[in-house]
Amino acid sequence: MALNYIWIFFFVIAFGIGLVKLIFFGDTEIFRLMVDGLFDSTKSSVMDIALPLIGIMAFWLGIMKIGEKAGAINFLSRLVGPFFNQLFPEVPADHPAVGQMMMNYAANLLGLDNAATPLGLKAMQGLQTLNKSEDTASNSQIMFLVLHASGLTLLPISIIAQRAIYHSKDPTDIFIPCIIATYVATLVGLLVVAFKQKINLLNRVVLTWLVGLTALIGFFIWYLTVFLSKAQISEFSKIFSNVTLLAIPLLFILGGFRKKINVFEVFVEGAKEGFETSIKIIPYLVGLLAAVSLFRTSGALTYLSDGFKWAFSFIHGIDTRFTDVLPIAFLRPLSGSGARAMMLDNLKTFGADSFTGHLSSVLYGSADTTFYIVALYFGAVNIKKTRYAIPAMLIADAAGIITSIFIAYLFFA
């Protein structure tokens, strides 16, 4: 699926809904709202996303460059090479991109959002060096992005913090549901792409890694829930994340010093790459986020949500409380800030410890901003033909959303 068709689809649907509202319902404000949203999104895509990203990108890609020179990335490549070689058969086991992808996944797993994005962009650039078609996403790039966007995380720090702000008696009680929902989304995304790329997952290496990762996550959950109180879990999440964010640069710098390289010069070299990448993605962000804004402000998402509520109202005996949270599910792939605002509004309106408050929290953490990620990561390497990446990512999102609803009923109904 090319970004060109998605872009046209959003514009056409938004304009069509606007015309219907104007002609049949006399809504004379709809086009003004759409235009205001258009200008706000184009401004925020540069001022609120691209420009702040420059500093983060410059720092972390500088650190990554030190890690490469110090041999840390090659070490990670050798460590996970046997497993990644099964999922990414086009990528040599000792290629730097393997270690870069591992760093990105580890940052996501630990909730290190500020580090995950630049590390992921570096990995995407590494995969692009192996891409035989410069403007078309490779199999490896699609697999990497789908697994990245599924957002498997062990420490949903930001959601716990927001729940605490809204006076939840137990802000961390969404801890296990969030892990389960993101794990299912990741697993479904992996299965979809593996099926499409004809990757055999039923072999000893893959099964060993998947079972081992599942056991590790299970042990992590068991340890935290058995040996730590709820307040201690929240405190552990904050401390562990911050220590990790500082430990990674320190270990890379010490490794570079041990290798007798000029770490600051290497850092500056990598930081320049981060600046160039941040500038390169601006046109992609502006174009796609503008289209998403039009789609949202036209009311398309509201109609979609109302349609689902109407359909479920005919099913007798079903608890339809989950339909109050569906707007978050539909908006999350399009706008992270918009979905976050809806989640916070539900926490405020219904209460952080209500069923709706719990489901909103889990649902928000179970999916990611698919179209923003596509614009950001593919834009960084000038990929225009995304093939089946977006459908696969949306399927993973849907799996996370459905799991979130079932888990919320299981834990909080």
Q: What is the pLDDT of residues 90-144, one digit of tens each?
A: 998 888 888 889 888 888 877 666 678 888 898 999 999 999 988 899 999 999 9
| Residue 299 pLDDT greater than 80, yes or no | yes
Q: Please indicate whether residue 324 or residue 195 has the higher confidence score (pLDDT).
A: 195
- The pLDDT, as a whole number, for residue 230 is 67
| Of residues 208, 200, 113, the one with CA closest to residue 151 | 113
- Mean pLDDT on 32-46: 89
Say what the alpha-carbon torsion angle 285, 288, 293, 295 is, to the nearest 10 degrees.
-170
User: How far, in Å, are 53, 203, 305 from residue 82 at the CA level?
Assistant: 33, 12, 44
| Residue 238 pLDDT greater than 80, yes or no | no
Interior CA angle at 69 toward 267 and 83, to 5°? 120
For 261, residues 6+ apart whose C-beta sits below 8 A from its C-beta are 66, 69, 70
Paired tokens of 301? 């998402």
| Residue 2 pLDDT greater than 70, yes or no | no
- The pLDDT, as a whole number, for residue 233 is 73
The CA R_g of the chain, rounded to the nearest whole Å, is: 22
Q: Please indicate whether residue 336 or residue 212 has the higher confidence score (pLDDT).
A: 212
For 394, residues 6+ apart whose C-beta sits below 8 A from its C-beta are 333, 370
| Residue 12 pLDDT greater than 80, yes or no | yes
Share of the chain above pLDDT 90, in %: 29
| Residue 48 pLDDT greater than 90, yes or no | no
Contact 328, 350 (CB under 8 A): no
- Mean pLDDT on 10-24: 93
Q: How many of the other CB atoms lie within 10 Å of CB of 169?
A: 9
pLDDT in tens, 170-190: 887 888 888 889 999 999 999
pLDDT in tens, 327-363: 888 888 877 777 887 788 888 888 999 999 999 999 8
Instruction: Please report which confidence band the pLDDT of residue 32 belongs to, taking 50, 70 and 90 as the band edges.
Output: very high
Averaged confidence pLDDT in the chain: 86
Paired tokens of 75? 């070490």
Rounded Cα distance between 150 and 182, Å, is: 6
Half-sphere exposure (Cβ direction) of 333: Cα atoms closer than 13 Å: 22
- The pLDDT, as a whole number, for residue 286 is 86
- The pLDDT, as a whole number, for residue 19 is 95
| Residue 371 pLDDT greater than 60, yes or no | yes
- The pLDDT, as a whole number, for residue 372 is 85
Give the range among 53-57, 108-112, 332-336, 386-390 with minimum mean pLDDT.
Answer: 108-112
- Mean pLDDT on 380-397: 92
| Exposure string for 125-148, b = 16+ CB within 10 A, e = fewer | bbbbeebeeeeebbbbbbbbbbbb
Give the range among 127-141, 232-246, 295-309 with minimum mean pLDDT.
Answer: 232-246
Q: Please indicate whether residue 78 or residue 382 has the higher confidence score (pLDDT).
A: 382
| Residue 1 pLDDT greater than 60, yes or no | no
